[in-house]
Amino acid sequence: MSISLDEKLVTLTEASKILPGRPHISSIWRWYRRGIRGVRLETLVVAGRRYTSLESLERFCAATTAAADGVAMPARTSRQREKAIAAAEAELAREGIGRRAQ
């Protein structure tokens, strides 16, 4: 999954202040660069600044907790992914934002 601009974006410094236990900013950067337990924090760059989102932090915490507990996170099947893409494209089309016919 990737971050959407519809999500609540925060800088990595802000993320370190939001999370319980207030992890050091270097921990947040490590989560983005190397990850932990095979899970990396999703980020994006806007105008030269790196951001994550509150939703991405939730996904990261859920995935690392599941990995620590030995529980596999359910993966989407290709059919579920295609269905989600079709639903998103339909919503964009309703709003007049979707791709134009060529």
Q: How confident is the prediction along the chain (102 residues), in pLDDT tens digits per residue? A: 677 778 899 999 999 999 999 999 999 999 999 999 889 999 999 999 999 999 999 999 989 998 888 877 666 667 777 888 888 888 888 888 866 543
Domain hosting residue 42, numbered range = 9-73
Residue 58 lies in a domain: yes
Residue 78 lies in a domain: no
Residue 81 lies in a domain: no
Residue 92 lies in a domain: no
Contacts of 9 (CB under 8 A, 6+ apart): 3, 44, 46, 51, 52, 53
Residue 100 lies in a domain: no
> Residue 101 to residues 92, 95, 97, 98: CA-CA distances in angstroms?
14, 15, 12, 9
Structure tokens at 17: 């202040």
Beta bridge partners of 36: 39
- The count of structural domains within the chain is 1
Which of 57, 51, 55, 49 is CA-nearest to residue 20?
A: 57
Residue 13 lies in a domain: yes
Q: What is the pLDDT of residue 26?
A: 95
Tell if the pTM clears 0.85, that is, is over it: no
Residue 14 lies in a domain: yes
Residue 40 lies in a domain: yes
Q: Is 45 helix (H, G, I), strand (E, B) or coil?
A: strand
Q: Using CA atoms, how far apart are residues 95 and 76, in angstroms rounded to an integer?
A: 26
Q: What is the pLDDT of residue 102?
A: 39
